Structure 1
Amino acid sequence: MTTENSQQVSSRIFTVPNILSFVRLALVPVFLVLVILGEDVLALIVLVVSSVTDFLDGVLARRLDQVSRLGQLLDPAADRLFIFATLIGLAVRGIVPWWLVTIIVGRDVLLLVLGIVLANHGYGPLPVHHLGKIATFCLFYALPILMIGQAFPVAAPVSDPVGWAFALWGAFLYWWAGVIYIVETLRVIRIPRVVEPAESDTLGG
């Protein structure tokens, strides 16, 4: 199996990019505690460090030819965990409403259910839709922008409207992509499965 760049996807665990991804994951609880405690400047510094490691692990994975299956799972997982951590931390402080947390977390619960349905029908996960990527991008930057207004109140008149625009648009696109995944899942599971010759012989015998 190869990537679009014809790089081999390995099953290695301890690679430089994966270690950077593990560092990002370890920073998630640190970040959440800082947000809840209102240490917004320190939280932003942790977020910047995470963003730098996110950039580096992608670059190093390609340049060192260390693209791995584990890395392909860890990278988006770290992104989502940082989104969830920011949402929960800001919701605890009353900066963002809990309904926004419910909307975003609910969409990912939906994807988990769809994944289980697909697996029960013998299919792997659906490919990521471009709307899902755009939505994740919007949310990944919306919440830190809102945090800037908390850390530096002088920037709030600009950062708050921009952050909320990204957040609401991201939440809308998140569920738009979710509806597309529902439709695609229903389409896939209705496709008749082709019985392999060996399987057919077994069933016939």
Structure 2
Amino acid sequence: MYYVDNQPLPPSKVEWFRRIWAGSRERRVSIPNIITLGRILLVPVIVWAIASNEMAVAFAVFVIAGVSDAIDGFLAKRFNMSSELGALLDPLADKALLVSIYVSLGIWGAIPRWLVILVVSRDIMIVGAVIISWLFGKPVPMKPLMVSKLNTVAQVGFAALVLGALGFGFEPAPYDLVLMILVTLLTLLSVSFYLVEWTRHMSTIEPGH
């Protein structure tokens, strides 16, 4: 029972307070979301490090970002802290970090620019497809395909290898070539699968909508 000035509140007021309390709990930013936001804030740091030729620092920040990604994922699943905000922020943070690293390394000349264009174009096409589906009132379910997960792993591995080689002065060959081929193939496959699924999803729109 809720009281104000030692007087019991009527049932309608009690229900109103309960709704306010439930809404405030839903709006709280969870620990995994805070960690994800911190990972987003690391993006300008790693861009600065690459632009300043501080590759060891860039590699260290990249490792920290990777560890934070694993931690927020563990907390969200283990302690039931998953949320819609987290489902949107987590892939956004991953993509912002990877795209920033690839663009920075491409400008620096550490990786081929055609690969940068391929990686960035893939993300732009997917984001564009999602926006179009929203505009038509047919939002695409945000479920990453297995090939997309493999593509992310390959992109992370290639970026880490390049940053590590530049930061600590070791020869990455032939592993860099292998990973670059994997990134290229998986990027092409993932965007093809996404576009096929998106086309199939959008074909269900009734004429006139």
TM tier relative to shorter chain: 0.7 to 0.9
Equivalent in the alignment of 2:75 = 60
Q: Which amino acid aligns with 1:131?
A: V
Aligned length: 182
Q: Percent identity over the alignment?
A: 27
Amino acid at match of 2:113: W
Return 184-193 or 131-140, whichever deviates more. Answer: 184-193
Q: What is the match of residue 142 of structure 1?
A: 158
Q: Is the 8 A contact 2:126 2:191 kept in 1?
A: yes
- Counterpart check, 1:100 vs 2:106: no
The TM-score with structure 1 as length reference comes to 0.81
Matched letter for residue 167 of structure 2 = A
SS at match of 1:138: helix
- Are the counterparts in 2 of residues 142 and 164 from structure 1 also a CA contact under 8 Å? no
Question: 1:36 maps to which residue?
Answer: 51
Task: Tell whether the 8 Å contact from 1:83 to 1:140 is kept in structure 2 after alignment.
Answer: yes
Q: Report the equivalent of 2:178.
A: 165
Structure 2 regions of 5+ residues with no counterpart? 1-24
1:45-84 equivalent positions in 2, closer than 5 A: 45-84=60-99
* Poorly superposed stretches of 4+, deviation over 6 Å: none
Change (3 A) 1:52 1:132: same
Q: Alpha-carbon deviation of 1:192? A: 5.4
* Residues 61-110 of structure 1: per-residue CA shift (max 9 Å, x gap): 22332111111111111111121121122112111122111111111111
Q: Give unpaired runs (5+ residues) of structure 1.
A: 1-9, 194-205
Amino acid at match of 2:43: V
TM-score using structure 2 length: 0.79
Aligned partner of residue 95 in structure 1, secondary structure: coil
Q: Tell me the amino acid that sits aligned with residue 165 of structure 1.
A: V
Which of residues 183, 187, 191 in structure 1 aligns to 2:200?
Answer: 187
Q: Give the match for residue 201 of structure 1.
A: none
- CA shift, 1:135, in A, is 0.6
Matched, 1:117 2:114: no
- Counterpart of 2:192, as a letter, is V
Over aligned residues, Cα RMSD in angstroms? 2.0
